[in-house]
Structure 1
Amino acid sequence: MSSTPLVFSIPRKRGIPLTQGIPRIPSIRVIVLLPWLDAKASHLKYYTSKYASLYPSATQIVIQSDYKALIGGTAFNAERLAPAVEILTQLGVLSAAPPPILFHAMSGGGVAQLLHLAIAIRRHHLPNVPPSHQVPVAFVFDSGPSTYHGSDLRNAMTMTYPPGVQKAAVFMTAQLLWTDLCARAALGLAELPQDVVLPGVLNPTLFPWTERATPRLYVFSDTDAMSLVPGVRAHVQEARERGLNVSVEEFNGSRHVGHAFADPKRYWSAVQRVWDEAVIVKGQSKL
């Protein structure tokens, strides 16, 4: 488990002009990938490689997460994401003419980091961010969010460990961390993720360039053992009730954050559609 989020960027392919992308799909300039807790770079190569193929003119920003993304509170985690904000600033995301951007959040950890990033941007750079709603933006939520209960933290922290002593030790650590968090929250000294993250990411103006019409794609499975489907469906329903622009791709039989492997064509076609929708929403057929 890392002590701080790992933030790194993958530049657009050299020799690719900024106007070039897949012919049918307008080009994304920046992709922010927020993976599950303790996801290793080797595990993410599939996603980054696929995005590089689909959108070669895009720069990818990968923001990793650890258990503190769930239990550390919004202020603490927003401060930790200052390096990500700096990279986005260098890419012009916080300029008067921000580039088209796609956010891809995976599992509870990635969704929590999405909220923390939004808070970090507003706290560090809000005075300089224009209230522009002219840039295409889209969200992809993969395998979440669900309920953010103690079992979610335990499962997330132990997911990458094989059965054995080490996994059992991490499980016990997660249980102790959750118990401590609940005790502090009862005293008003801490935030529970279900009380902050779930309503937070439903904010239509989560980022300075988003609104109710900003497309959101939720990808999940009826057999996900970590982000249980009733919780995800409840979140999707609330998003719809709030008037957000929601589309759903519900898989059958795929595992947690495994939908892209279960049916790659279906998964990536859904991602492409949500971006097409983002461009339509902004009335831009070509970038």
Structure 2
Amino acid sequence: MASNAPATSAARPLEHMTKLSPCVYFYRPTTAPPAPSTTGATASQKPAPKLIILASWMGARDPHIAKYLVQYQALFPASPILLLRSEPRHFIRPRGNAAEFSPAVPVVRSIFPELGDATADDKQTNPPQQQQPQLLIHAWSNGGASALLHLRRAMGPVAAPLPPYTLVLDSTPGAFRYRAAYLAFTTGLTGLARWFVAPLMHLMCVMYWVQHELIGRGRTGPLQSTRGALNDAASRRSEVRRAYVYGEGDRLVHWRDVEGHAAEAEGKGFSVKTEKFEGGEHVAHVRVDAARYWRVVKETWEGWD
């Protein structure tokens, strides 16, 4: 976990991060100034997060991830950043996912040593909405949201709830829709590659539908597990507030599924704010209005009351 300078290069945009595993990276800031913001983002005046967890969308490329990292370095120059990367194999072969994300556990525990201390947990009596957040979490798409669940499982079944945190959910969580699932696994493929892969992807979608939607009646499968975990009792004990960022132009995660989840969360006592970006496409809402997007992130951390 050695310190790394925030400088990046076009060839290696994540070179300032320490690679702990194929899907876990860690950045610890130095005294060097953060990379300049391209959206006018300025450092928050509130106490900075002790840790920022960024859970990227499935198959996200380094240059795209780096664009968000730069903004977070501008907003919170002194905060370390833990990156969780989602890959197609995490959905295709779900067994063992917690082990893949286990290198992130020592990082989280080193920054929050009180985790797992039942005595410390018992002393915390205030509802999360009245607490000062210590952790900021930002997840993109179903891949990023599911990575958070894998991390939670990697921390063990007896792990105490996370410290008070805020959560930004970008283009997530979705529910199973056949066309959206097919597009999620074939986006970026063209020509012969798409022609060869298409039958396999259709087969996977049919198998998922039969197993989880028909036999499981929409109550089983990784998508449903992720949706449920975001609104469960463990999350309610630690989450200060959350924002949903989504748009009607998203072909992979339907906006109604996001709004339905937000309504469910609010009904369970979560502090919720929804931000619909008109014309916003999947994990590209920042392109519609970058200043608004980063204002949502900042306000989610600082509070909107």
Same structural fold, with TM-score higher than 0.5 when normalized by the shorter chain:
yes
Between 237-246 and 84-93, the greater mean CA deviation after superposition: 84-93
Amino acid at match of 1:108: N
Give secondary structure in 2 for the equivalent of 1:214. Answer: strand
| Distance in 1 (alpha carbons) for counterparts of 2:182 and 2:76 | 35
RMSD value, Cα: 3.0
| Distance in 2 (alpha carbons) for counterparts of 1:213 and 1:62 | 19
Aligned 8 A contact 2:248 2:278 in 1: yes
Do structure 1's residue 171 and structure 2's residue 192 form an aligned pair? no
Q: 1:8-29: per-residue Cα shift (whole Å, max 9, x none)?
A: 112223358xxxx935232112
**TM-score, L = length of structure 1:** 0.79
**TM-score, L = length of structure 2:** 0.75
Do structure 1's residue 47 and structure 2's residue 75 form an aligned pair? no
The equivalent position to 1:77 in structure 2, one of 90, 97, 100, is 97
Between 178-187 and 79-88, the greater mean CA deviation after superposition: 178-187
Aligned 8 A contact 2:180 2:251 in 1: no
| Distance in 1 (alpha carbons) for counterparts of 2:154 and 2:85 | 15
Aligned 8 A contact 1:149 1:194 in 2: no
Give secondary structure in 1 for the equivalent of 2:59. Answer: coil
| Distance in 2 (alpha carbons) for counterparts of 1:72 and 1:182 | 16
* Structure 2 unaligned spans of 5+: 1-20, 34-41, 122-132
| Distance in 2 (alpha carbons) for counterparts of 1:228 and 1:234 | 10
Partner of 2:284: 258
Aligned 8 A contact 2:23 2:101 in 1: no
The equivalent position to 1:205 in structure 2, one of 226, 231, 234, is 234
| Distance in 2 (alpha carbons) for counterparts of 1:164 and 1:252 | 31
| Distance in 1 (alpha carbons) for counterparts of 2:255 and 2:283 | 13
Partner of 1:56: 77
Do structure 1's residue 35 and structure 2's residue 56 form an aligned pair? yes
Identity %: 26
Between 236-245 and 194-203, the greater mean CA deviation after superposition: 194-203
Do structure 1's residue 14 and structure 2's residue 31 form an aligned pair? yes
Q: 1:138-193: per-residue Cα shift (whole Å, max 9, x none)?
A: 001001111134433322222233x32213333333223333445555788x9512
Partner of 1:285: none
* Structure 1 unaligned spans of 5+: 281-287
**Taking CA–CA contacts closer than 8 Å with sequence separation of 6 or more, which of the two structures ends up with the larger relative contact order?**
1
